[in-house]
Amino acid sequence: GGIITQTPKFLIGQEGQKLTLKCQQNFNHDTMYWYRQDSGKGLRLIYYSITENDLQKGDLSEGYDASREKKSSFSLTVTSAQKNEMAVFLCASDGGFSAETLYFGSGTRLTVL
């Protein structure tokens, strides 16, 4: 079986700082996703990528950049961290058309001081 690895697991930043989150998958999946999870708000799509070097904006892309350097990795950058921001960022991947095959990493928990 495959695995999705997110690093770091915990990230503490300062207001205004640029922060980068990384995701690696060894499923050989084509499509990768970044979601933001806030308490009481479910998951919201930030960016997704259907192949290497492809980027597609989700509903919450403002304030973020993403990069799909190679098929197995997808990184997300918070361009300017907001004070008191707290959220979990989840990376996912899937190999087929439907989202039935979505596999999630365990998340990066961001805290901005």
Partner 1 sequence: GEQVEQRPPHLSVREGDSAFIICTYTDSATAYFYWYKQEPGAGLQLLMSVFSNVDRKEEQGLTVLLNKKDKRLSLNLTAAHPGDSAVYFCAVSDDTNAYKVIFGKGTHLHVLP
Q: Give contact residues for partner 1 (rule: CB under 8 A).
A: 4, 31, 33, 35, 40-45, 48, 50, 56, 58-59, 90, 92, 97-100, 102-107
CB of 66 to partner 1, least distance (A): 14
CB of 93 to partner 1, least distance (A): 11
Which residue, 26 or 80, is less far from partner 1 as judged by CB? 26
CB of 15 to partner 1, least distance (A): 26
CB of 39 to partner 1, least distance (A): 9
The CB-side HSE value for 41 (13 A sphere, CA atoms) comes to 13
E runs forming strands in 1-113:
4-7, 10-13, 19-25, 31-38, 42-49, 56-57, 64-70, 73-78, 86-94, 103-104, 108-112
Which residue, 33 or 64, is less far from partner 1 as judged by CB? 33
Distance (Å, whole) CA 32 – CA 23: 9
Which residue, 59 or 62, is less far from partner 1 as judged by CB? 59
Q: Can you tell me which residue has the tokens 């899937």? A: 94
